[in-house]
Amino acid sequence: MTLLHVIWSYPLRENDADTFLRGRVGVRISGDDRVELKQLYGKALPVDMILPVLNAALGQEWIDMAEKLHVSRKYHWQTEIRVGMSGARDYSLRVLLDSEWHNAPFVKSIHVSMYGNLNKGLSCWLGDLPPLLAKILEDHPPAKDYELEVFQPSVGDGFHQDGESSGLKEILASYEAMEVLAE
């Protein structure tokens, strides 16, 4: 799937049309079924915007695809929530690899800051997202009042290679040569 950018805006307070939080995130699902959401600029995405942003960028079919991958997992699983002293929450997914040896490692965690933001973005196997998102949505229902603009980004041509000369010395040298000729 292609990379899409989502510009989001979200009222800071109810009934306040003049004060908005804004930001831009990049969203994609890679060929190995990894979903990624990365903050590109502006404020960190409020967690209650995660479902609207994913739906806008990936379409409704991503949920069916994610759930299909989730139910195909080979191991028992559970979700856990850890609340920090500041109120930040980590929503974690564990899988039971070996019940005899009690081997149940965490395979993915999504951090929600004490302010309710996804400061670290999101990157996980698409099949791990449904149980984590279900737990998150229990605590943070999807936002209702927001604006989204979804588009495929383009940076165009004309970029120079890193390490390439800026051309400043050549320009300055040509000016110096012209001044010498003018004398």
- Long-range (24+ apart) CB contacts under 8 A made by 82-88 are 84/114, 86/114, 87/114, 88/112, 88/113, 88/114
Q: Quote the percentage of the chain above a pLDDT of 90.
A: 73
Q: What is the mean pLDDT of residues 70-82?
A: 96
Span 16-27, pLDDT tens digits: 556 788 999 999
Span 55-72, pLDDT tens digits: 999 998 999 999 999 999
Q: Which helix or strand (DSSP H or E) is residue 16 part of?
A: none
Span 94-149, pLDDT tens digits: 999 999 999 999 999 999 999 999 999 999 999 999 999 999 999 999 998 899 99
pLDDT score recorded for residue 180: 61
